[in-house]
A = this chain, B = another copy of it.
Protein backbone atom coordinates (compact mmCIF):
# COMPACT_ATOMS: atom_id res chain seq x y z
CA UNK A 1 0.00 0.00 0.00
CA UNK A 2 1.16 3.49 -0.86
CA UNK A 3 2.66 5.50 1.96
CA UNK A 4 0.33 8.37 2.67
CA UNK A 5 0.38 10.94 5.44
CA UNK A 6 -2.69 13.09 4.99
CA UNK A 7 -4.69 14.14 8.03
CA UNK A 8 -8.47 14.15 8.06
CA UNK A 9 -10.32 16.96 9.81
CA UNK A 10 -13.85 18.25 10.07
CA UNK A 11 -14.94 21.88 10.27
CA UNK A 12 -18.39 23.29 10.80
CA UNK A 13 -20.16 26.42 9.65
CA UNK A 14 -22.80 26.95 12.31
CA UNK A 15 -25.47 29.52 11.54
CA UNK A 16 -27.69 31.16 14.12
CA UNK A 17 -30.31 33.84 13.68
CA UNK A 18 -30.04 36.50 16.41
CA UNK A 19 -31.36 40.05 16.67
CA UNK A 20 -32.80 39.83 13.15
CA UNK A 21 -29.38 39.11 11.67
CA UNK A 22 -27.65 36.00 10.41
CA UNK A 23 -24.72 34.97 12.60
CA UNK A 24 -21.89 32.47 12.39
CA UNK A 25 -20.20 30.73 15.28
CA UNK A 26 -16.42 31.29 15.35
CA UNK A 27 -13.62 30.42 17.73
CA UNK A 28 -10.50 32.39 18.49
CA UNK A 29 -7.53 30.09 18.01
CA UNK A 30 -5.18 29.54 20.92
CA UNK A 31 -2.50 27.60 19.03
CA UNK A 32 -0.33 28.14 15.96
CA UNK A 33 -0.75 28.53 13.07
CA UNK A 34 -3.14 31.48 12.94
CA UNK A 35 -2.91 31.89 16.70
CA UNK A 36 -5.33 34.67 17.81
CA UNK A 37 -7.21 34.47 14.51
CA UNK A 38 -10.88 33.66 14.32
CA UNK A 39 -11.70 30.33 12.66
CA UNK A 40 -14.47 27.82 12.11
CA UNK A 41 -14.81 25.28 14.90
CA UNK A 42 -13.36 21.89 13.95
CA UNK A 43 -10.45 19.54 14.33
CA UNK A 44 -8.97 16.16 13.50
CA UNK A 45 -11.19 13.12 13.25
CA UNK A 46 -10.47 10.39 15.81
CA UNK A 47 -9.70 6.86 14.70
CA UNK A 48 -13.03 5.32 15.66
CA UNK A 49 -15.65 7.97 15.28
CA UNK A 50 -17.77 8.80 12.25
CA UNK A 51 -17.41 12.17 10.56
CA UNK A 52 -20.68 13.40 12.06
CA UNK A 53 -19.60 12.28 15.52
CA UNK A 54 -16.35 14.17 15.03
CA UNK A 55 -18.20 17.38 14.18
CA UNK A 56 -20.54 17.06 17.12
CA UNK A 57 -17.68 16.29 19.48
CA UNK A 58 -15.61 19.24 18.29
CA UNK A 59 -18.57 21.59 18.55
CA UNK A 60 -19.26 20.41 22.07
CA UNK A 61 -15.59 20.74 23.08
CA UNK A 62 -14.84 24.03 21.42
CA UNK A 63 -18.10 25.92 21.73
CA UNK A 64 -20.50 23.94 23.93
CA UNK A 65 -23.12 24.13 21.18
CA UNK A 66 -25.44 21.30 20.17
CA UNK A 67 -26.82 21.86 16.71
CA UNK A 68 -30.39 21.36 15.53
CA UNK A 69 -29.52 20.61 11.93
CA UNK A 70 -26.37 19.14 10.44
CA UNK A 71 -25.42 18.11 6.93
CA UNK A 72 -22.23 17.68 5.02
CA UNK A 73 -21.19 20.69 3.00
CA UNK A 74 -18.05 20.02 0.95
CA UNK A 75 -14.54 18.62 1.29
CA UNK A 76 -11.43 20.73 0.88
CA UNK A 77 -8.11 19.12 0.20
CA UNK A 78 -5.85 21.38 -1.82
CA UNK A 79 -2.22 20.76 -0.79
CA UNK A 80 -0.99 23.70 1.25
CA UNK A 81 -4.32 24.80 2.72
CA UNK A 82 -2.83 24.01 6.12
CA UNK A 83 0.80 25.18 6.42
CA UNK A 84 1.77 22.32 8.80
CA UNK A 85 0.69 19.11 7.06
CA UNK A 86 -1.58 18.09 4.30
CA UNK A 87 -5.08 18.19 5.78
CA UNK A 88 -8.27 17.21 4.03
CA UNK A 89 -11.18 18.85 5.75
CA UNK A 90 -14.70 17.57 5.44
CA UNK A 91 -16.87 20.54 6.22
CA UNK A 92 -20.37 20.62 7.64
CA UNK A 93 -23.28 22.99 7.51
CA UNK A 94 -25.21 23.43 10.75
CA UNK A 95 -28.10 25.40 12.17
CA UNK A 96 -28.96 26.17 15.78
CA UNK A 97 -32.06 27.61 17.34
CA UNK A 98 -31.68 30.74 19.45
CA UNK A 99 -32.35 29.02 22.78
CA UNK A 100 -29.27 26.81 22.40
CA UNK A 101 -26.99 29.80 22.46
CA UNK A 102 -25.07 29.11 25.67
CA UNK A 103 -21.67 29.24 24.02
CA UNK A 104 -18.51 28.64 26.02
CA UNK A 105 -14.87 28.42 24.93
CA UNK A 106 -12.82 25.36 25.87
CA UNK A 107 -10.20 23.17 24.17
CA UNK A 108 -7.73 24.95 21.89
CA UNK A 109 -9.86 28.08 21.85
CA UNK A 110 -9.44 31.28 23.80
CA UNK A 111 -12.85 32.51 22.90
CA UNK A 112 -16.08 31.71 21.10
CA UNK A 113 -18.49 34.21 19.63
CA UNK A 114 -21.33 34.79 17.23
CA UNK A 115 -20.51 37.12 14.37
CA UNK A 116 -22.98 38.95 12.23
CA UNK A 117 -22.35 37.61 8.72
CA UNK A 118 -22.09 41.23 7.55
CA UNK A 119 -19.32 42.07 10.02
CA UNK A 120 -16.85 39.21 9.86
CA UNK A 121 -13.22 39.34 10.96
CA UNK A 122 -10.44 37.85 8.81
CA UNK A 123 -10.53 34.10 9.11
CA UNK A 124 -7.78 31.49 9.43
CA UNK A 125 -6.85 29.02 6.66
CA UNK A 126 -9.35 28.88 3.77
CA UNK A 127 -12.24 29.34 6.15
CA UNK A 128 -13.52 32.42 4.37
CA UNK A 129 -13.97 30.31 1.29
CA UNK A 130 -15.76 27.57 3.23
CA UNK A 131 -18.07 30.14 4.74
CA UNK A 132 -18.99 31.48 1.29
CA UNK A 133 -19.95 28.01 0.22
CA UNK A 134 -22.04 27.52 3.34
CA UNK A 135 -23.83 30.79 2.81
CA UNK A 136 -24.76 29.75 -0.70
CA UNK A 137 -25.99 26.41 0.59
CA UNK A 138 -28.12 28.19 3.17
CA UNK A 139 -29.63 30.51 0.60
CA UNK A 140 -30.42 27.68 -1.79
CA UNK A 141 -31.67 25.30 0.82
CA UNK A 142 -33.98 27.86 2.37
CA UNK A 143 -35.95 27.95 -0.86
CA UNK A 144 -36.60 24.24 -1.23
CA UNK A 145 -36.50 22.82 2.28
CA UNK A 146 -38.13 24.05 5.47
CA UNK A 147 -34.84 24.67 7.30
CA UNK A 148 -35.76 28.19 8.33
CA UNK A 149 -37.61 26.68 11.28
CA UNK A 150 -34.32 25.31 12.63
CA UNK A 151 -33.17 28.89 13.07
CA UNK A 152 -36.25 30.12 14.93
CA UNK A 153 -37.66 29.30 18.35
CA UNK A 154 -40.23 26.52 18.36
CA UNK A 155 -42.96 29.13 18.60
CA UNK A 156 -42.45 32.10 16.33
CA UNK A 157 -44.23 35.02 14.75
CA UNK A 158 -45.00 34.98 11.07
CA UNK A 159 -43.17 38.28 10.77
CA UNK A 160 -40.04 36.60 12.18
CA UNK A 161 -40.15 33.93 9.51
CA UNK A 162 -40.62 36.58 6.89
CA UNK A 163 -37.73 38.70 8.21
CA UNK A 164 -35.53 35.62 8.34
CA UNK A 165 -36.21 34.92 4.67
CA UNK A 166 -35.57 38.51 3.71
CA UNK A 167 -32.35 38.66 5.75
CA UNK A 168 -30.89 35.44 4.41
CA UNK A 169 -32.03 35.80 0.82
CA UNK A 170 -31.10 39.48 0.87
CA UNK A 171 -34.23 40.64 -0.89
CA UNK A 172 -37.66 42.08 -0.25
CA UNK A 173 -40.62 39.71 0.05
CA UNK A 174 -44.27 40.62 -0.25
CA UNK A 175 -45.88 39.90 3.11
CA UNK A 176 -49.25 38.81 1.71
CA UNK A 177 -47.91 36.50 -0.98
CA UNK A 178 -45.37 34.99 1.40
CA UNK A 179 -47.96 34.24 4.07
CA UNK A 180 -50.38 32.83 1.51
CA UNK A 181 -47.69 30.56 0.07
CA UNK A 182 -46.39 29.22 3.39
CA UNK A 183 -49.87 28.67 4.80
CA UNK A 184 -50.91 26.84 1.64
CA UNK A 185 -48.25 24.22 2.43
CA UNK A 186 -50.25 23.24 5.51
CA UNK A 187 -47.16 22.63 7.65
CA UNK A 188 -47.74 25.31 10.29
CA UNK A 189 -50.00 25.29 13.31
CA UNK A 190 -51.47 28.59 14.37
CA UNK A 191 -51.36 28.63 18.17
CA UNK A 192 -53.93 30.28 20.37
CA UNK A 193 -51.30 32.60 21.79
CA UNK A 194 -50.65 36.18 20.99
CA UNK A 195 -47.49 38.14 21.58
CA UNK A 196 -47.17 41.87 21.72
CA UNK A 197 -43.86 43.35 20.66
CA UNK A 198 -44.59 46.43 22.76
CA UNK A 199 -46.28 48.41 20.09
CA UNK A 200 -48.63 47.62 17.28
CA UNK A 201 -51.22 44.90 17.04
CA UNK A 202 -50.25 41.70 18.88
CA UNK A 203 -49.34 38.82 16.58
CA UNK A 204 -50.21 35.17 16.63
CA UNK A 205 -47.61 32.50 17.37
CA UNK A 206 -47.03 29.67 14.93
CA UNK A 207 -45.34 26.32 15.21
CA UNK A 208 -43.76 24.12 12.53
CA UNK A 209 -45.40 20.71 12.30
CA UNK A 210 -42.59 18.42 11.17
CA UNK A 211 -44.77 15.30 11.05
CA UNK A 212 -47.23 17.04 8.78
CA UNK A 213 -44.34 18.14 6.56
CA UNK A 214 -42.98 14.59 6.24
CA UNK A 215 -46.45 13.30 5.52
CA UNK A 216 -46.98 15.78 2.72
CA UNK A 217 -43.47 15.16 1.44
CA UNK A 218 -44.19 11.44 1.09
CA UNK A 219 -47.27 12.31 -0.91
CA UNK A 220 -45.12 14.22 -3.39
CA UNK A 221 -45.51 17.76 -2.12
CA UNK A 222 -42.54 20.04 -2.72
CA UNK A 223 -41.62 22.88 -0.41
CA UNK A 224 -40.63 25.75 -2.67
CA UNK A 225 -40.29 29.48 -1.98
CA UNK A 226 -39.09 31.74 -4.74
Contact = CB atoms under 8 A, between A and B. Distances in A.
A56 to B, nearest CB: 14
Given A4-B8, A47-B4, A90 B75 contact: yes
A50 B78 contact: yes
A51 interface: yes
A77 B48 contact: no
A220 to B, nearest CB: 13
Contact of A4 (B1, B44, B50, B72): B44
A45 B90 contact: no
A8 B6 CA distance: 7
A103 interface: no
B75 A45 contact: no
Given A72-B74, A72-B75, A75-B90, A4 B7 contact: yes
A9 to B, nearest CB: 9
Nearest to A79: B48
Contacts of A8: 4, 6, 8, 77, 88
B90 A88 contact: yes
A2 B88 contact: no
A169 to B, nearest CB: 15
A48 B47 CA distance: 23
A88 B86 contact: no
Given A2-B44, A4-B45, A48-B79, 11 more contacts: A2-B46, A4-B44, A4-B46, A4-B47, A6-B7, A6-B47, A45-B77, A47-B79, A50-B78, A75-B90, A88-B88
